[in-house]
Amino acid sequence: MTETQRRRDVGPPSSDSDEKSTLLAFLNYVREAVAAKAQGLDDGQGRTPGVPSGTSIFGLVKHLTAAELYWFAWAFEGADVDHPDFSMDLSEGDSASSLLAAYRSAIERSNEIIKRCDDLNRPCARAAGKAGAVRSMRWVLVHMIEETARHAGHADILREQADGFIGR
């Protein structure tokens, strides 16, 4: 394995202050792990499914962009936005740069919503998810850490299959 294919993994955040700051630090950590796996891939590599279900790294980024918008803007804030499509299907116009820009924009919006929330017990403006339940900001943060971390693991494997790149 060449040095460019092997990079040192970045350890988890050292933040251990208040609950919201710690949760946000871990969420940002796993978000960056996903983005790092998509960076540097050409469109063919990023679009190529690595498993029979059709999952690709770019598809994961698209899905997580929708999850950010759904949980923070649509569900928690109650923003007047279209209900996001969680599909991992890519369109002709989807590219590494457009997908990562959309993901980073969604993250920025989500982080602003999180920062404005002064109570993690505050409920979402809308019932959401498969259970159709009204969740708290705390629940949304923990769920998004879990969702993003799970897909970061998928992206690790897909990236190694695509070009041998491991680590961060």
Look at domain 19-162 and name its CATH class: mainly alpha
- Mean pLDDT across the chain: 92
Residue 138 has pLDDT above 70, yes or no: yes
139 pLDDT band, cuts 50/70/90, is: very high
User: Which pLDDT score, from 0 to 100, does residue 116 have?
Assistant: 97
10 pLDDT band, cuts 50/70/90, is: confident
Distance between first and last Cα of the chain: 14
CA-closest candidate to residue 52, choices 132, 133, 161, 147: 161
Measured in residues, the chain has a length of: 168
pLDDT tens profile 15-33 = 778 999 999 999 999 999 9
pTM over 0.85: yes
8 pLDDT band, cuts 50/70/90, is: low
User: Looking at the DSSP assignment, which residues form a beta bridge with residue 166?
Assistant: 6
pLDDT tens profile 91-136 = 999 999 999 999 999 999 999 999 999 999 999 999 999 999 999 9
Residue 147 has pLDDT above 70, yes or no: yes
d(CA 98, CA 55): 18
User: Which pLDDT score, from 0 to 100, does residue 17 have?
Assistant: 86
Residue 4 has pLDDT above 70, yes or no: no
Residue 74 has pLDDT above 90, yes or no: yes
The answer to whether the Cα torsion of 111, 115, 116, 122 is positive or negative is positive
**CB hemisphere CA count around 147 (13 angstroms):** 18
